Amino acid sequence: MAEHTFRQRYGRYFWAIALIVLALFLLRPIISSLPAAPDETAAPVETATATSTPLVVNTAEPSPYFDYDAVDTSLQTFDLSNLPVRRDDSLRPAMNPSTFRGKLPQHEEFQRYTVLSGDTPIGIADRFGIIPETLLGGNPQLSEEAGLLFADSELIILPIDGVLHDVQYGDTLENLAAKYNVAVDDIIAYQPNNLEFPYRLYEDTQILVPGAVREVFKWDPPDVSAAQGNYQNTSNQLVVGYGSFIWPTTGYRITQTYWYGHQAVDVGIETGTPLYAADSGKVTFAAWSPYCYANLIVINHRNGFETFYAHLSSFNVVPGQVVFQGNLIGYSGNTGCSTGPHLHFEIRRNGTRLDPCAWTNGC
């Protein structure tokens, strides 16, 4: 009975002591590996040799730059040649862009039209259901001069309104969109362009830019101060135009009206028909023009206005000559980019080409 009472009273302490002893036995390798506590009573370890010199403190101003020459390279004793080299380039993309070749544009055969005598861009555009500007988009030569509609010449008729762009080296979709003021998505969406990610353009191909309008070339004549000559002592006279214009010829048959690609009017008249100054001013140009105008007269009216008379057969004025409204200046013809005898008549104000029909009573 007494033995049973002893077990009940002290048995649980026995097992607790046994578990502590077992734990200490298992943790002995870990405890033995810990560094010993420093002995504060031990003598300090001497770190300098018998021949060591006193420590010298550098009191100079520290440099903000690292002195690579001061590095002790003798401490760099690690041998890296035995370290393992990890290679993981199986998914590295090739640096040569020629490894990717996208689809090229696949435009169907464009319609072609042979120009007939008397054709105009507006009439041709109406026939094919496109706007006249699209004729410029498919035929860049017309952007220099819409009068390049020679009889028997051939035009490309685009299936939609826009510009057929010849891709040059360095062209990108972003550049084309900025040049023609259209959205990149509109260019991609036109299926025959065959554009797919990453949307590369290929030199010597053609991309149709929907909704774009090709820029029109404009030639500027010499400034009035550059006009030389002394015709009957009038070249030095200061003559300013009225700002209102008379019709420059006796004919009134308009063969081509004012529009974006032809910012003038064409008047169908016989070769040799007299032409008259629409307003007073000074002749700044009277010669053969290299830009489709052929025989051309330009009068500067010294009030911001200029008038152009093109495709002439002969001149009756010289550069530098002062003329007055209604003076005979030349004779009509069929020279340069022309499909028949006519007068090409322009009015410009501060370099902007205006509709002559809105400034005269001849239309």
Pairing status of strand 162-166 against strand 343-349 = unpaired
Domain ranges of the chain: 111-210, 224-358
Q: For residue 47, what pLDDT is reported?
A: 46
For 126-135, 144-153, 196-205, which range has the lowest pLDDT when averaged over its residues?
Answer: 144-153
Share of the chain above pLDDT 90, in %: 49
Higher pLDDT, 210 or 153: 210
Query: What average pLDDT does this structure show over 74-97?
Result: 58
pLDDT band at 363 (very low <50, low <70, confident <90, very high): confident
pLDDT of residue 49: 46
**Percent above pLDDT 70 for the chain:** 72
Q: In the predicted model, is pLDDT for residue 236 greater than 70?
A: no
The answer to whether the beta carbons of residues 235 and 322 sit under 8 Å apart is yes
* Three-class SS state of 276: strand
Mean pLDDT in residue range 80-91:
60
Q: Report d(CA 167, CA 124) in Å as an integer.
A: 27
What is the third-level CATH fold of 224-358? Answer: Glucose Permease (Domain IIA) (2.70.70)
**Whole-angstrom distance, CA of residue 229 vs CA of residue 323:** 13
Q: What pLDDT score does 145 carry?
A: 67
CATH of 111-210, one of 3.10.350.10, 3.40.50.300, 3.20.80.10, 3.40.50.11740: 3.10.350.10
The pLDDT of residue 96: 56
As a whole number, mean pLDDT of residues 76-102 equals 60
Report the alpha-carbon distance of residue 192 to residue 106 in Å, rounded: 5
Identify the pLDDT of residue 344. Answer: 95
* Whole-structure pTM value: 0.64
Predicted local distance difference test score (pLDDT) of residue 13 = 72
Residues 37-62 pLDDT 10s: 555 554 554 544 444 455 555 555 55
Residue 51 CA to its chain's centroid (Å): 76
Among 153-157, 299-303, 330-334, 359-363, the range scoring the smallest mean pLDDT is: 359-363
67-81, 121-135, 325-339: which range is least confident on average?
67-81
Amino acid at 156: I
pLDDT of residue 208: 97
Q: Is the pLDDT of residue 221 over 80?
A: yes
Residue 2's pLDDT is 52
100 or 47, higher pLDDT: 100
Stretch among 32-41, 122-131, 236-245 having the lowest mean pLDDT: 32-41
Is the pLDDT assigned to residue 73 strictly greater than 60? no
Position 159 scores a pLDDT of 95
Q: Using CA atoms, how far apart are residues 35 and 306, in angstroms rounded to an integer?
A: 102
Point out the least confidently predicted range of 3-12, 97-106, 194-203.
3-12
Q: How many residues does the chain have?
A: 363
Helices (H), the chain: 2-26, 28-33, 121-128, 132-138, 173-180, 184-189
pLDDT at 128 over 80: yes
pLDDT class of 98 with cuts at 50, 70, 90? low
pLDDT, greater one: 262 or 95: 262
Q: Is the pLDDT of residue 343 over 90?
A: yes
- What does the pLDDT look like over 249-300, one tens digit per residue? 998 899 888 988 889 999 999 999 999 999 999 999 999 987 889 999 999 9
Beta bridge partners of 345: 265, 309
- In whole angstroms, give the CA distance from residue 308 to residue 292: 13
pLDDT at 182 over 50: yes
- For residues 104 and 50, the model is more confident at 104
pLDDT, mean over the chain: 81
Query: Is the fold of 111-210 the same as that of 224-358?
Result: no
pLDDT at 64 over 60: no
